[in-house]
């Protein structure tokens, strides 16, 4: 009989690219020798294989992880099951451990792998390293999943057992290298062949150590005032932890308890409670995707299957490139293109503009964000776009249409954010910054602006597009009265 510490275990890294508070790695390390692996599987996810910005981040995150593992990370390309089976044979491994992922395609693949490995008498264990609560732990009294966020968080999350505390540091980590593997990180082809990523490099530090530094910086400088400051894109009161959380460079448990403790210690629990609630939104998105696996592709509310979406390539391209003629929208889309990120308030503004003012299907936004965001996350991306379209479980009222002019004036009053990403409007007075078409010709001329040449004329009229959107929503609404008095909100 083999001693407990003699077991040879594969630890399969996925969206948990860290050493600290990593439940699967923690348990594998206690068993004995660990073969750490990462498998790039572009086959199984099909349409939801990682987008360009995510692949760029992944390259640098894996590089950072490899350094933390002393150069012992083993990377592979191919179907996960095939790679694991081969590794078990060639390296004489006895078990496979991993942390769970919750995308529908991953659940199906993982279930198959578990069955096949157990049939081969290979020990297989999975753990929760990505969520504060498992989706099957937060349910209504009748065991049905929640469909509205507030009761999900207040009556569900906060009334069940608190999230587990972060694990202690791994005392002993005995790693081995696969001597049969010739693939190196560069072979994964994650970096772009055209250097569009150079702009993003200046915006981010990537990896577990960077994630911890980012959290510390948020706690020390930006958590105080978060409740209100998070709404203003020119302020720094955001954590910018979303890509680190998605790739698992930091655990939500580490973020939860660090923020909770800081808020209580420093006396700004209103700010920390709002941040914890944002982590709750992340949990809600995962719960929805787990219980309703069609969330990424199908309208949560079937009546939206009959919605009169338009198909307009010109509108789509103008929106993607930040050339709509509405400065706050264009600033957000250019921030996305240049940094792989977008402030959350601005995400709502650009999302509303796409699906309501332009009447483009939320799939258009979903796909563009999926390719361009470094924090592209299937659960958050899908639930977010369904929310803004009005088709989701806990959606924004579909008659609420963000006004990009008033939103800009309210949340970027001095134009600090907008001028950064739309520099051609730098000299325009605040009075006209978010509606340059109303500026007198003399002022435009003095500022070096020629609408239609140096900056676009608005591609749609706000009032006209509002009426078209409300008309389309009326067609699927059960009660026309829902729209009485509805206007441009914000």
User: At residue 39, what are phi and psi to the nearest 5 degrees?
Assistant: -120, 120
Q: Check 181, 217, 312, 344 and give the catalytic one.
A: 344
Nearest to 283, CA basis, from 152, 411, 145, 171: 152
Q: Are 31 and 108 in contact (CB under 8 A)?
A: no
Q: Are 458 and 437 in contact (CB under 8 A)?
A: yes
Angle between helices 362-372 and 52-68 (to 10 degrees): 30
Distances (CA, A) of 437 to 395, 421, 459: 32, 19, 12
User: At residue 7, what are phi and psi to the nearest 5 degrees?
Assistant: -70, 140
Torsion angle, CA of 64/67/69/71, rounded to 10 degrees?
130
Q: Which residues of 399-417 are buried (b: 16+ CB within 10 A; e: fewer)?
A: bbbbbbbebbbebbeebeb
CA pair distance 207, 224, nearest whole angstrom: 25
Distances (CA, A) of 322 to 304, 418, 445: 27, 12, 22
Two tokens, residue 269 = 């629990």
CA pair distance 260, 371, nearest whole angstrom: 33
Query: What is the three-class DSSP state of 36?
Result: strand
Q: Are 54 and 378 in contact (CB under 8 A)?
A: no
- Residue 33 parent element (H or E): strand 32-40
Query: What is the three-class DSSP state of 416?
Result: helix
Q: Check 256, 362, 368, 387 and give the catalytic one.
A: 362
Q: Are 384 and 347 in contact (CB under 8 A)?
A: yes
Q: Is 278 a catalytic site residue?
A: yes
Q: Are 175 and 10 in contact (CB under 8 A)?
A: no
Q: Check 116, 217, 224, 281 and give the catalytic one.
A: 281
Q: Is 335 a catalytic site residue?
A: no
Per-position DSSP letters for 124-175, written without gaps between them = EEEE--S-SS-TTTS--TTSPPP-SHHHIIIIIGGGSPPPPPPPPPPS--EE
Q: Check 98, 337, 385, 387 and give the catalytic one.
A: 385
Q: Is 385 a catalytic site residue?
A: yes
Q: Check 249, 278, 283, 424 and give the catalytic one.
A: 278
Q: Check 79, 155, 224, 309 and give the catalytic one.
A: 309
Q: Is 92 a catalytic site residue?
A: no
CA pair distance 178, 180, nearest whole angstrom: 5
Active-site residue list: 278, 281, 309, 344, 362, 385
């Amino acid at each position: 009989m083999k001693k407990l510490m003699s077991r040879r275990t594969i630890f399969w890294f996925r969206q948990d690219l860290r050493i600290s508070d990593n439940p699967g790695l923690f348990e594998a390390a206690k068993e004995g020798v660990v073969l750490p692996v990462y498998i790039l599987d572009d086959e199984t996810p099909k349409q939801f294989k990682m987008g360009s910005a995510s692949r760029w981040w992944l390259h640098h995150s894996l590089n950072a992880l490899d350094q933390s593992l002393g150069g012992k990370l083993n990377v592979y390309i191919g179907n996960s099951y095939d790679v694991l089976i081969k590794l078990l044979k060639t390296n004489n491994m006895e078990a496979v451990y991993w942390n769970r992922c919750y995308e529908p395609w991953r659940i199906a693949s993982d279930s198959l792998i578990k069955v096949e490995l157990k049939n081969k008498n290979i020990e297989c264990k999975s753990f929760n390293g990505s969520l504060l609560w498992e989706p099957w732990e937060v349910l209504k009294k009748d065991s049905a999943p929640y469909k509205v966020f507030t009761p999900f968080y207040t009556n569900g999350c906060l009334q069940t057992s608190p999230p587990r505390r972060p694990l202690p540091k791994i005392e002993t980590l005995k790693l081995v290298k696969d001597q049969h593997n010739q693939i190196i990180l560069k072979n994964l082809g994650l970096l772009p062949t055209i250097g569009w990523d150079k702009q993003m490099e200046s915006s981010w530090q990537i990896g577990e150590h960077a994630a911890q530094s980012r959290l510390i910086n948020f706690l020390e400088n930006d958590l105080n005032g978060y409740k209100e400051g998070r709404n203003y894109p020119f302020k720094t009161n955001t954590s910018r932890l979303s890509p680190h959380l998605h790739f698992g460079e930091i655990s939500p448990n580490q973020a939860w308890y660090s923020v909770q403790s800081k808020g209580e210690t420093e006396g700004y629990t209103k700010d920390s409670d709002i941040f914890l609630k944002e982590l709750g939104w992340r949990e809600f998105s995962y719960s929805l995707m787990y219980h309703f696996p069609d969330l990424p592709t199908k309208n949560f509310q079937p009546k939206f299957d009959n919605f009169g979406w338009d198909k307009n390539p010109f509108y789509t391209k103008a929106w993607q490139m930040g050339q709509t003629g509405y400065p706050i929208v264009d600033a957000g889309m250019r921030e996305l293109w240049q940094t792989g990120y977008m402030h959350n308030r601005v995400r709502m503004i650009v999302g509303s503009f796409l699906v309501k003012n332009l009447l483009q299907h939320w799939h258009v936004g979903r796909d563009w964000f999926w390719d361009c965001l470094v924090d592209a996350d299937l659960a958050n991306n899908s639930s977010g776009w369904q929310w803004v379209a009005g088709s989701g479980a806990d959606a924004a009222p579909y008659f609420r249409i963000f006004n990009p002019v008033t939103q800009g004036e309210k949340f970027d009053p001095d134009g600090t954010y907008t001028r950064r990403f739309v520099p051609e409007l730098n000299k325009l007075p605040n009075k006209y910054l978010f509606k340059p078409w109303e500026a007198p010709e003399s002022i435009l001329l003095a500022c070096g602006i020629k609408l239609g040449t140096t900056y676009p004329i608005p591609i749609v009229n706000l009032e006209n597009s509002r009426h078209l959107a409300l008309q389309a929503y009326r067609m699927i609404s059960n009660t026309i009265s829902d729209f009485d008095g509805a206007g441009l909100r914000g």
